[in-house]
Structure formats: C-alpha cells, structure tokens
Structure 1
Amino acid sequence: MDKKTLSETFELHPRLTADTLVVTDLPQCRVLLMNDSRYPWLILVPRHNELRELHDLAPTELAAVMEEVRKVSEVLVQAFGAFKINVAALGNMVPQLHIHVIARSQSDPAWPGPVWGVGAPLAYSDEASSVLLLKLEAAIGNGKPST
C-alpha cells in the first residue's frame, strides 16, 4: 500500500492515543482534542501511515490538509473567541505527522509564550469532555459552533 494513500489501517502514535480524545474524522485528517482543559487545543493527524513531515504529502493532499487546518481554526475562533490561533507541526516527541491548532487567549496560563512545558496538563472531566466533543464534532461537521 502506498503510504500516501488514505490508510484503511490508519493507526495513531501511542502518545497521541494516550494524550487526546477523538473528535471526528475529516476527509484527510483525524481530529483530536488534547486532553488539557487549560486550552482549546485540537490536533489534526493526516490519515496516512508513516508520514513525518508536511512535505511528505503530495501537493494536492497538502492543500486539502491545510484547508482542514483552516476550517478547524475558524471553528476554534467562533466557539472560544480566540484572540490568536497557534498552528504548529513539531513532531520532536511524536514523529507521526500531526498539526497542533491551539486557541489562545491573553488570559491563558502560557500567554504570550508557547503552551509547551508550562505547568501540568489539566484533564477534562468525563462530563466536560463529552459536552465539548459533541460541540466540536457538530461545529467541525457544519462549520459553525453548536449552541
């Protein structure tokens, strides 16, 4: 199977599985919620196995992935009133290609610096994560936050 074809056997890196909750699948990416209630933080993982870098995607796939990043960025702004959206594809700890999309506010615990390494993550409660996952899935599915 060509690694650039959407994989029927797509698997998340174990660290992503441990640190996130599944929101939904878009045509190109699995959308995950970072289990840290301090920040509205989504992670998009292109559903291809064995990709490490954005340039590993074919140009048309890269454009489609970036359109999904744009879409979830808009959802985060609408749903959370984000002052700024941070987008990053670092991959130093998790080599599987994944793109962080983080809604930032001037009152968040890390502002104005990066979110990495600032305090300990604060996991969502079961109830809060259920409500938020439904809200995000609906918003990402139709492009508007649910009320």
Structure 2
Amino acid sequence: MFNTRYNKLAPQSNVADSAGAVGGGKFTVDSRLGADSFVLAQWPLCELRRFDDQRYDWFMLVPKVPHCVEFLDLPLTQQQQLAQETQQAAQLLKTHGRGTKLNVGALGNVVSQLHVHLLMRAEGDPAWPGPVWGHSPAQRFSDAEKSAEIKRWQALL
C-alpha cells in the first residue's frame, strides 16, 4: 500500500482519553484526515474538506460531533442534516467538478471517525475504473495551488 498513514494501528485523534473525552470533549478531526485534506467551509453539521490530490475533485464531509463513528451514532435530526449537506456537496461537484461519475461513500474501516467521501471520477482517470484508495501517491497541491483551490470552491458555495 502506498499510504502508510492509514494503518489501523496508528493513533487516532478521535479515540477517547482515559476520562472518555475526545479532544477535551470537543470535536477534532482525525489526524490522518487532517493531514490529507484541507477545510473549504464550516457547514451547520460538517466541515467540508477538500482532499489534497490535484488529480480528483474530491470532498469529505466530517460531522463536527465528538465520538461519532457510525451514521447511526447521530440523532435523527443530524442524520437528516448530514443527508442535506451530502446532497449540497454532491450537487456542487456534479455542477462544477471535473468528471462524469460521482462516487459517494462512508467506509471507515481504517479511519473510524465518521466521514463521507464525495469524489468525481472520469473514464481514463489514473485509477479508473478501480478505487482511488491505495492506487498511487496523492499529487499534493502547492501552497499557492491550495489557496487557489480554496478560493475556487468558496466562490461557488
């Protein structure tokens, strides 16, 4: 595998301490998600994050809820809010993203903190038709490119 940060045994920022608190009872993004993405917006329930790989228009929604691992860990009102924010991010990608196929998924087998991936795919992209995870190392944005990417998406929000 190309990305060793996603080792199940790696420390996670969403694991409770001895008192049962995560980040002092406050929401924190798992360190692996934080290292591989950057924030585009703060929505009512989620952080909207951009995966740091130039080859794909790829968002992640991370509910700002401590201890949240499964969709079912959210109360019904937050489940509905997550669905609404997923729809909003999906529409943004479908309208303005590069690609023809929108993939949406929330696996969490390695990073257990609940997060939803929204990823535009195109026939002929580097991983097509297989999954992007583990296919090849990410092609990271430079600082200037990251700033431009943030401005690009924030102008469309």
So what's the TM-score if we normalise by structure 1?
0.85
Which of 107, 123, 126 in structure 2 is aligned with 1:90? 107
User: SS of 1:119's equivalent?
Assistant: coil
Q: 1:68 and 1:29 mapped to 2: Cα distance?
A: 8
Match of 1:65 in 2: 82
Q: Which of 32, 42, 55 in structure 1 is aligned with 2:49?
A: 32
- 2:44 aligned counterpart, secondary structure: coil
Cα distance in structure 2, aligned partners of 1:44 and 1:33: 9
SS in 2 for 1:124: coil
* Bigger mean CA deviation after superposition, 35-44 or 131-140: 131-140
Alpha-carbon distance in structure 1 between the residues aligned to 2:98 and 2:59: 15
Q: Which runs of 5+ in 2 are unaligned?
A: 1-24
Distance in structure 1 (CA, Å) of the matches to 2:99 and 2:55: 13
Map 1:1-16 to 2 at 5 A: 9-16=26-33
**In the alignment, residue 34 of structure 2 is paired with which amino acid?**
T
Q: Which residue of 2 aligns with 1:109?
A: 126
**CA RMSD after TM alignment:** 1.3
Q: Runs in 1 of length 4+ with deviation above 3 angstroms?
A: none
Q: Which residue of 2 aligns with 1:143?
A: none
CA deviation map 1:40-97 (0-9, x unaligned): 1111000101010111111221111011111111111111243111111111121111
Aligned length: 133
Is the partner of 1:136 in helix, strand or coil?
helix
CA contact (8 A) 2:57 2:98 kept: no
| Pair 104,24 (structure 1): closer, same or farther in 2 beyond 3 Å | same
| CA deviation profile, 1:101-134 (whole Å, cap 9, x unmatched) | 1011112111111111111111012121111111
Residues 36, 52 of structure 2: 8 Å contact kept: yes
